[in-house]
Amino acid sequence: MRGEKYAWRYRPRTACNTIQPMPLPLRRYVAVLAVVVGVVALSAEIASADGARCERCAVVNSQALQVGTAERVLAEKYVPIVYVRNQIESCDTRGSPYVPVPVEFLFDVDAIVLRKHESGRTTDEVRAPSGADLYGKDDTYFLDFPGDPKRPGCRFERDFLARVNEYTPTAYAHIAYEDGRDGFALQYWLFYYFNHWNNTHEGDWEMIQLTFEGPTPADALTQEPTGVGYSQHGSGERSDWDDAKLSKEGTHPIAFAAAGANANQFEPNVILGRGENGTGFGCDDARRPNRRVPLAVQLMEEPSSASDPYPWLAFDGRWGERAPWEFNGPTGPNDKRAWREPFLWQENLRPSSIIVPSGDTLGPNAVNLFCDVVWYLSAPFAQLIRLPRGVLVAGVVLGLSGTGFLMTRTSYRPVMALPLRRRRRFGQALSASARLYRRNVVLFIGIGAIFIPVSIIESAFQWVLFSTTPYVATISGFFAANRAVEAIIALGVGNATSSLVYWFVTVGVTAAIGRVEAGQSSSALAAFRDVLRQAPALIVPRLRALVIFLILALSVVGLPWAVRNWIRWAFIEQSILLDGTPSRESLAASAGAVDGSWWHTSFCLTTLWVVAYLSGPTVALLLLLLSPVSVATVNLTSSVIFAAVAPFVAICQTLLYFDLRAKADLD
């Protein structure tokens, strides 16, 4: 048989050998399997040897990979979350439609043009530019968006909302080092399409920065940040990582974007905005209700050519239309001081911001006054500064010339301090008031010191009203949709007590002058005793005048009569304290002194009241805008100046009354 040739060719002769011969196919299978196992074992041994020889190389490669990924992991770990104030309706500037977007939002858009401005001429360079088109362009270039930023209307909002859903809200991360400083800063740059604040302009770059002590991002993954800096207009605010004012969601810092301004605020409040070198003026509204905007993060690398991933980082031009002053488009991150000197930038930020309303001053609060003026006048002022430069210059020149002319139409000499009851021109009244003040400085400073106990009561009241959570929630929720009502509330709460104190100082000074005229010894305490003794007679007619004034003013049509009567009734207290006029006749007595000299009286009183109410806040605001002084220093400065100026104004007002009475007697 054919199979027999595969049989064993011999048979064992021993009896113990009983194993049967293995078939040939199975023997071949076992042989192949043995060869495979041997090859695998040999390969494993070789691989093990090679791995031992390259162990150090593998460690180096692993460390390089770790450094490269640490920056990205760190950027993802701390990427901020932005809360943007809600709009009540379209084109509502009390809220904001804008969120941080990638700069690609501007690229390859036919309506956006890269322009060049040089030697007084503007030329179109590239329409629908790309990021590569921006590479290497100097500061004579700018991106021009569709629309007029000085008169934005709803154009920028509509253009933004038409395409924003195509893009993911984005933060651009950057690892920044500073020569001579240990550690590094992790920066998140946020680009907004438009800044719709008091200074409207195209494009807006804001930034949130975290500082670390570790030398590398890999080290920073095992430690917490040491500090945080939030950009706000041209300046900003700083805090420690564990500061109570810094809100966080896990490791992600929270920024509350101010409506329109996009400034990063630590708290959802109305904040006094202060820019760099006096720019960025007004109040930032970062209150709730708002919407949460998580951000995707892109880790930037500075480009070396137009084909690199972020060529626009080498653009030194403007990210918005070129315009004068604060309406100019901003420069990019690479041209900011924080890019080159992150630690020095953060150290120069304010340690705190001023939350409105605030009530911790002795006189008219600089913060409240400033915000009140901005709330009521920011829109007209914005329209004013949009006028052609020649018109503005002409208006300023005419205003200063007119004021200067009126002030030259008076005489300042001779001083004529005594006798008190006599005719004086306004300049002579100012000179005589200064001499009386100097001769009785202790008396009048003592009267001004009444601000101290009253301010303590005022501050305590406002602390209870605005620091107690239920009141804050109620007020914030109820008035969130009504800026006008909110402004009135802030004005009333912030300045009503100060106005009352000013009235008390005025009548105190008037009583003291009455004693001086009568040849009696006087002191601040004696003057206030005179006031308290006649308090009902003084308060009732003044309240009556105030009620009539408010009724006429609120009727709108009666506003001219309200202004007319307020001037005519300015000397109610003088007529009672100095001439012994009965309370019920004091309004008529004051009006009788003013009649026939209304325009002269209104000019003099307006000048005095402006000096009284604006001298302290003006100096304090200059400190606030131009120096890094603390909030407490600003408020103290405002209070001290007001306490010193108020008695002088009261003296001058009293001498003006004596002038009017002397004129009436001669007539």
Give how far Cα 188 sits from Cα of 220, 290, 344, 454, 603, Å. Answer: 16, 21, 17, 46, 54
pLDDT digits (tens, 9 = 90+) for 651-665: 999 999 998 888 877
| Cβ atoms of residues 279 and 234 within 8 Å | yes
| Cβ atoms of residues 339 and 163 within 8 Å | no
- Read off φ and ψ for residue 560, nearest 5 degrees: -60, -40
What average pLDDT does the chain have?
78
Question: Is 70 exceeded by the pLDDT of residue 160?
Answer: yes
Confidence of residue 487 (pLDDT cuts 50, 70, 90): very low
Using CA atoms, how far apart are residues 129 and 345, in angstroms rounded to an integer?
Answer: 32
Which is nearest to 272 in space by CA: 494, 206, 280? Answer: 280
pLDDT digits (tens, 9 = 90+) for 263-310: 999 998 887 665 443 334 567 888 888 999 999 999 999 999 999 999
For CA atoms 505, 506, 511, 515, the dihedral sign is positive
The encoded tokens of residue 224 equal 């917490």
DSSP labels, 242-269: T-TT--EETTEEEEEEPTTT--EESSSS
The encoded tokens of residue 295 equal 């951000």
Place of tokens 């008529």: 588
Using CA atoms, how far apart are residues 281 and 603, in angstroms rounded to an integer?
Answer: 29
Using CA atoms, how far apart are residues 636 and 617, in angstroms rounded to an integer?
Answer: 10
What proportion of the chain, given as a percentage, has pLDDT over 70? Answer: 70
| Cβ atoms of residues 604 and 426 within 8 Å | yes
Confidence of residue 68 (pLDDT cuts 50, 70, 90): low
Determine whether 299 is exposed, middle or buried from the number of CB atoms within 10 Å of its CB (0-12, 13-18, 19+): middle
Lowest mean pLDDT among 209-218, 350-359, 491-500, 551-560: 491-500
Which is nearest to 513 in space by CA: 592, 571, 455, 565? Answer: 571
Distance linking the first and last C-alpha atoms of the chain: 162
Using CA atoms, how far apart are residues 617 and 629, in angstroms rounded to an integer?
Answer: 14
Q: What pLDDT sits at residue 233?
A: 82
- Read off φ and ψ for residue 159, nearest 5 degrees: -65, -40
Q: What is the mean pLDDT of residues 623-648?
A: 69
Max mean pLDDT among 316-325, 333-342, 446-455 falls in 333-342
Place of tokens 């002191």: 523
pLDDT digits (tens, 9 = 90+) for 74-96: 999 999 999 999 998 888 888 89
Strand bridging mode 184-195 / 355-356: unpaired
pLDDT digits (tens, 9 = 90+) for 229-240: 999 887 889 999
Lowest mean pLDDT among 89-93, 183-187, 322-326, 421-425: 322-326
pLDDT digits (tens, 9 = 90+) for 113-123: 999 999 889 99
Using CA atoms, how far apart are residues 347 and 341, in angstroms rounded to an integer?
Answer: 10
Confidence of residue 128 (pLDDT cuts 50, 70, 90): very high
Q: What pLDDT sits at residue 5?
A: 35
Question: Is 70 exceeded by the pLDDT of residue 70?
Answer: yes
